Amino acid sequence: MTITRTSNTITTRDGTTIYFTDWGHGPVVTFSHGWPLNGDAWEDQMMFLAEKGFRVIAHDRRGHGRSSKTWHGNHMNDYADDLAQLIEALDLHNITMVGHSTGGGEVARYIGRHGSDRVKKAVLVGAVPPQMVKSPTNPGGLPMDVFDGIRNGVQSDRSQFFKDLSAPFYGFNRDGAKTSQGLRDNFWLQGMQCSIRAAYECVKQFSETDFTEDLKKMDIPTLLVHGSDDQIVPIDAAARRAVEFLPQGRLVVYEGAPHGLPSTHKDRLNADLLEFLRS
C-alpha cells in the first residue's frame, strides 16, 4: 500500500490516518508532541516561527488527537515510521526536528531508524531519552511502580487523572506558582482526544524504550532544553545523561522550569529556538 495524502492528512502504508498542521513558508521545522497531547501543544512555537519565515509542521501521533485511533501500532518504532512517511509524503529536506517529552524520543528513534539525510538539526525539549525506567543499566531512572501508577490512572479514571496530572506537568503544584486554569483545561482536553488504548500503551514506550543507540546516531547539531524542576521527566536521568551520548549535543537548563515549559516558558523557548535555527 502506498502513502496517500490530503491537505491535512496522510494515510500510511498500514492504513493509519495521520493528521498534521502545516503553516508558513521557508526552512522546515517539524514538531513531535508529548503524551497524551497532540500537535496543538506546539501552537505557541508554530505561530511564532511561521511569522518569522519558517514552515512549521506538527502531526498528531497515531492514537492521539485527530489521527486514527488504532488498536495496533502503539510502539515507538511505529511512531518513528509514521513520521518518516509524513516526511516522505511532504518531500521535506533540511529539517530541524523538535520533540517534547515522548516526542523527543520519537525524534531520536526516527534518526536511529531512518538516518539524518533529511535532517539538519534537532531540538529535544524535556525529552525522555536515554531511558526513563530504572534498570541495571539505568540506575538513576524512575522505579517501575511510577509507570504502573500512570497506567492505573489511565484505566481507572483517565479524565480525573489528566486533570490531576496537569498540576505537576506545569509546576502549578509548587508554592507561589500562578496557576492557569485554562492551560490545565487544555491539557485535559487534548488528553481526552487521545484514545484510552493509545494512552495506556504509550506509557510503556516513553518509559521503557532505550534510546541510547539512537542518540549516538544523531550526528547533527542537537540542542537539549530541560527544566531543572521537571517533575515528570527528571533532568538528571534524562537530559544530563542524554547529552553525553550526542555527538554534537548542547544542554540548556531552564532553572525552576517544569515539564510543560513550551507553554509556561514559551517566550524564552521561542527565542532559543529562533537563535538555534538561525545559527
Q: Rounded to whole angstroms, how far apart are CA atoms 134 and 120?
A: 32
Nearest to 108 by CA among 242, 204, 250, 16: 242
Distance between CA 275 and CA 273 in Å, rounded? 5
Rounded CA gap, 276 and 120, in Å? 11
Q: 270: which 3 cell numbers?
A: 521561542
Cis peptide before 130 (omega within 30 of 0): yes
Taking the alpha carbons of 58, 63, 68, 73 in that order, is the dihedral positive or negative?
A: positive
**What value, to the nearest 5°, has the Cα angle with vertex 274 and ends 166 and 67?**
45
Tell me which residues are annotated as active site: 101, 230, 259
Amino acid in the structure at residue 90: L
- Secondary structure in 3-state letters for 96-153: EEEEECHHHHHHHHHHHHHCCCCEEEEEEECCCCCCCECECCECCCECHHHHHHHHHH
